[in-house]
């Protein structure tokens, strides 16, 4: 039996009223803040913040800037999961349950 992949949410760079979210690098900033949450990461390790986490990374889908967040992040660090979910809610961003079209960059 194969393990089921964790559910993913897509935080889209479009507000609920249809406007593009600003600043234009919001996805990279949000994913960068989550970069230390990765398999085998040791907090404070040199290079721990280089590259995006496979649990939270930016991607452009259908011309819309998004951040793809794996629900596995909730098991690894619940406060990090709450941070990204609250970010989307507080900024009125659209959130979609979906599956990623491919593996995260660098996986």
Q: Is residue 103 in some structural domain?
A: no
Q: Residue 64 belongs to what domain range?
A: 14-38+49-98
58: number of Cβ within 10 Å: 21
Q: What CATH code is carried by the domain that includes residue 18?
A: 3.30.70.2340
Q: Render each residue's pLDDT in the chain as its tens digit; 107 residues.
A: 556 667 899 999 999 999 999 999 999 999 999 988 877 655 555 555 568 899 999 999 999 999 999 999 999 899 999 999 999 999 999 999 876 555 555 54
Residue 21 lies in a domain: yes
The answer to whether position 9 is within a domain reads no
pTM for this one? 0.78
Domain-located, residue 55 = yes
Task: Let me know: does 56 contact 73? Beta carbons within 8 Å.
Answer: yes
Burial profile 68-95: b = 16 or more Cβ within 10 angstroms, e = fewer = bbbebbbeeeeebbeebbebbeeeebbb
């Amino acid at each position: 039996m194969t393990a089921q992949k964790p559910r993913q949410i897509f935080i889209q760079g479009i507000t609920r009223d249809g406007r593009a979210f600003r600043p234009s690098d919001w996805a990279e900033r949000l994913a960068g803040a989550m970069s230390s949450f990765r398999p085998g990461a040791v907090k404070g390790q040199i290079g721990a913040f280089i590259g995006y986490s496979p649990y939270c990374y930016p991607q452009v889908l259908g011309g819309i800037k998004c951040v793809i967040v794996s629900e596995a992040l909730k098991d690894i660090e619940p406060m990090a999961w709450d941070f990204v979910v609250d970010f989307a809610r507080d900024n009125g961003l659209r959130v979609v349950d979906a599956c990623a079209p491919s593996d995260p960059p660098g996986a």
